[in-house]
Amino acid sequence: MSVSTRRGARSGHGRSFTALLVVTSGAFVGYVLLLPVVPLWAVRSGAGETGAGLTNGVFMLVTVLTQLMMPWLLRTRSPRWLLAVGTLLLGAGAPLFGLFTTLPGLLTVSGVRGVGFGLLTVTGSALVAELVPAHRRGRASGLYGLAVGLPHAVMLPVGVRLAELLGFVPLFWISAVVPALAATAATGLGRVTPSRDRPAEGGTPLRRGLLMPWLAMTPVSVAAGGLVAFLPLAVGSGEGSAGLLAFGAATVGFRWVAGHLGDRIGSSRLLLPAVSVAAVGLVSLALGSTGNGWLAVLGAFGVGAGFGGLQNAALVLMFERASAGAASTAWNIAYDAGNGIGSAGLGAVVAVGGYPTGFLVCAVLVAAGFPAALHVARRARQGVTHASPASRCGRNR
């Protein structure tokens, strides 16, 4: 391949990656705007608190079920098509909420949007691996994390405020138009062919390779889901809002930092520090929930820092061990199922033992991820890796 051809390929991949970031940002704006609003709409429609919880629960259940099908879909369908359809389904379902005031209708719409979200999330993170060389995947994953995380940090409070100012139905249409416009950027994705520098989907050794990063990340994802759901209730609305802001900012920022560090020193070295920071943050959160709200805010920042670092490190490690589809599916299930379980599970613990006990239980759960993180670090020190030779060469460039 000539120098000019290589430059052309890099330029094409750069444009495709930019298109991916545009689609992702717009889709997540539409998603996050409604994340706290749909439960409010359900309550005002007469579905009650149980129905409000079910709207997000059904959404996440259908998301995970869709994600389980993604390795097959990514082998048989164009990623560009999957990304666009997922974004359009996520947005197109939003105005339908305005047509339904009964729980079955609200749950049906939530399910349709869940299919779109499952398509979007797995395809998006898989494309990070397909569009970027191995030695730049950490930084690319960090940029992708910004495209996902900034809407969370900015739009969570904006959605509720817009619903109060404009009304629910106009907000539903805004949450449809933004993803629809973003979906047009999917036309900027070039033809994507599977990379040759990762193993193909396979048997037991591959599953073992994915398991350890998955086991390190999932407990922190569970704790994060519980934190987002219950922090304002645990410490009050003022410190709770500040804690959620600190958590969101730390998650986004440290995912980006972990991308740069991972490309320089190896993502395997980041798992243990990230798990440790998250565990310490949860202990601080438990102490803060006894009356010191600002200690809880500091704890939320620690959980966010650990969670952000783990997100990036685990994703890059999974890309080294599996095809983009399999790695992205495993990572997204760890994230989404973990968050859903955390919200429901922490609620059950809090009902019995209170918020300090609930956050301490989360800290113990996160500490259970230490052996998996230690295993990955030890194997890295011994020079054992699941990455292919081409991938290892790419990281050393």
Identify the DSSP state of 384.
Answer: -
**Vertex 297 angle, CA 155 and 230, to 5°:** 65
Specify the pLDDT at position 192.
62
List the structure tokens of 341: 């379980």
Give me 373's structure tokens. 């993180």
Q: How many other C-beta atoms can be found within 10 angstroms of the C-beta atom of residue 161?
A: 10
Whether the CB-CB separation of 191 and 16 falls below 8 Å is answered with no
Residue whose token pair is 């995912």: 255
How far apart, in whole angstroms, are the C-alpha atoms of residue 207 and residue 78? 25
Domain 1-192 identical in fold to domain 203-397: yes
Quote the CA–CA distance of 95 and 167 in Å, as a whole number: 12
Burial of 193 from C-beta contacts in 10 A (0-12 / 13-18 / 19+): exposed
Q: What is the DSSP letter of 199?
A: P
How far is residue 199's CA from residue 76's CA, in Å, rounded to a whole number?
Answer: 18
Task: List, for residues 17-31, the tens digit of each pLDDT value.
Answer: 899 999 999 999 999
What span, in angstroms and rounded, lies between the C-alpha atoms of 193 and 368? 38
Most trustworthy range by pLDDT among 71-75, 188-192, 341-345: 71-75
Distance (Å, whole) CA 59 – CA 40: 15
Q: How many CB atoms lie within 10 A of CB 111?
A: 18
For position 66, what pLDDT does the model report? 94
Average pLDDT over every residue of 321-327: 82
Contact, 379 vs 385, CB < 8 A?
A: yes
Residues 165-178 have a mean pLDDT of: 94
| CB within 8 Å of 55: residues ≥ 6 apart | 38, 39, 42, 47, 106, 107, 110
User: Whole-angstrom Cα distance, residue 143 to residue 19?
Assistant: 13
Higher pLDDT: 54 or 315? It is 315
E-strand ranges in the chain read: none
The pLDDT tens digits for 109-123 are 999 999 999 999 999
Per-residue CA distances from 385 to 328, 334, 377, 378 (Å): 19, 22, 10, 11
Q: Which numeric CATH code is attached to 1-192? A: 1.20.1250.20
Per the prediction, the chain carries an average pLDDT of 83
d(CA 79, CA 129): 12
Structure tokens at 5: 């051809």
> What gap in Å lies between CA 260 and CA 34, rounded to an integer?
32
Q: What is the pLDDT of residues 185-206, one digit of tens each?
A: 988 876 665 544 444 444 433 4
C-alpha span between 365 and 362 (Å, rounded): 5
pLDDT at 295 over 80: yes
pLDDT confidence band for 207 (50 / 70 / 90): low
pLDDT band at 291 (very low <50, low <70, confident <90, very high): confident
Residue 396 — pLDDT band, cuts 50, 70, 90?
A: very low
Whole-model pTM: value is: 0.77
Using the 8-state DSSP alphabet, how is residue 45 labeled?
A: T
Name the CATH superfamily housing domain 203-397. Answer: MFS general substrate transporter like domains (1.20.1250.20)
**pLDDT tens string 208-238:** 578 999 999 999 999 998 888 778 778 887 7
Q: Please, are residues 23 and 183 in contact by the beta-carbon 8 Å criterion?
A: yes
Q: Where are the domains of the chain?
A: 1-192, 203-397
Judge contact between 326 and 71, C-beta under 8 A: yes
Mean pLDDT of 355-364: 94
State whether residue 339 is helix, strand or coil: helix
Contacts of 337 (CB under 8 A, 6+ apart): 60, 64, 218, 221
Closest CA relative to residue 10, chosen from 144, 138, 140:
140
